[in-house]
Amino acid sequence: MSVSIKSKSEIEKMRVAGRLTSEVLDYIAPFVTAGITTNELDKLCHDLIVDVQKGIPAPLNYAPGGHKPYPKSICSSVNHQICHGVPSDKALKNGDIVNLDITVIKDGYHGDSSRMFYVGEPSIQAKRLCEITYQSMWRGIRTVKAGSYLGDVGFAIQSFVEPMGYSVVREFCGHGIGAKFHEEPQVLHYGRPKTGLKLEAGMIFTIEPMINAGKKDIKQLGDGWTVVTKDHSLSAQFEHTILVTDTGYEVLTISDGCPAPNFG
């Protein structure tokens, strides 16, 4: 496994891309209301990234091996959709929960972050799932420092959510990021302490747990992208891009409107 150590200049570019990514999520938050379509949200984000930030929306036409090009500028995953939901003309309705996943390329480097949004007033169960998922992400982040292991990240998340009856999606994980959208290492959201890759200062990767209210099993829809829970249970996800430092971590996808850390 070849994991790149980012230089000071690369880290600075990643800080800029990460901040811009988070600012898109800040910007779009007030628009996530009943009656708006995810296509409309996609266009708002696209126009901000391209026209205002002078960046590139990384998902647009992204085509990893075996996939047809992704047709939109953001991913929007609603209710039982786990990840990679493709924006459409279907309107959001009161009580929905939706994950918006944003990746901005600026000066050749990627920032990657996602948040859950409530449409109107969600159910108590939906809100709790989102809150626990957010806490699990931060528990994973808190383990990061030079000398710790990727298994520590996964264990912190898995050991927190599973006793509450939730499940961790296995097929999708966090990833290294930099000049490429997806690099080594793969960052699993389950695992055992002190196993896997030993972390070094200068590594940058995402932590993005996908937590299901029901079972962990998934299914991919016919569009070739959207992934849903097999049992139709709700799913939630949060994501940050993380820099490993000598003494801990730096969250690169932070902005003025970013929700505060919550370790549960």
CA 99 to each of CA 22, 86, 104, 119, 210: distance values in angstroms, whole numbers, following the listed order = 14, 11, 16, 11, 10
Residue 36, C-beta contacts closer than 8 angstroms, at least 6 positions apart: 91, 92
Predicted pLDDT of residue 67: 84
Residue 106, C-beta contacts closer than 8 angstroms, at least 6 positions apart: 13, 16, 17, 20, 53, 54, 55, 56
Spatial separation of the C-alpha atoms in residues 217 and 167, rounded to whole Å: 9
Q: 242 phi and psi, to 5 degrees?
A: -120, 135
Predicted pLDDT of residue 1: 66
Amino acid (one-letter) located at 74:
I
Predicted pLDDT of residue 65: 84
State the pTM of this model. Answer: 0.97
* Residues 236, 211 contacting (CB under 8 angstroms): yes
Cβ of 31: how many Cβ atoms within 10 Å? 12
Return the residue matching tokens 């939901």.
85
Task: Choose the CATH number for 8-251 among 3.40.50.10800, 3.40.50.300, 3.90.230.10, 3.30.530.20.
Answer: 3.90.230.10
* Residues 211, 169 contacting (CB under 8 angstroms): yes
Predicted pLDDT of residue 66: 79
Amino acid (one-letter) located at 147:
G
Predicted pLDDT of residue 263: 87
Spatial separation of the C-alpha atoms in residues 197 and 18, rounded to whole Å: 24
Q: In a structure prediction context, what are the per-residue pLDDT tens digits for the chain, which is 264 residues long?
A: 689 999 999 999 999 999 999 999 999 999 999 999 999 999 999 999 999 999 999 999 999 887 899 999 999 999 999 999 999 999 999 999 999 999 999 999 999 999 999 999 999 999 999 999 999 999 999 999 999 999 999 999 999 999 999 999 999 999 999 999 999 999 999 999 999 999 999 999 999 999 999 999 999 999 999 999 999 999 999 999 999 999 999 999 999 999 999 988
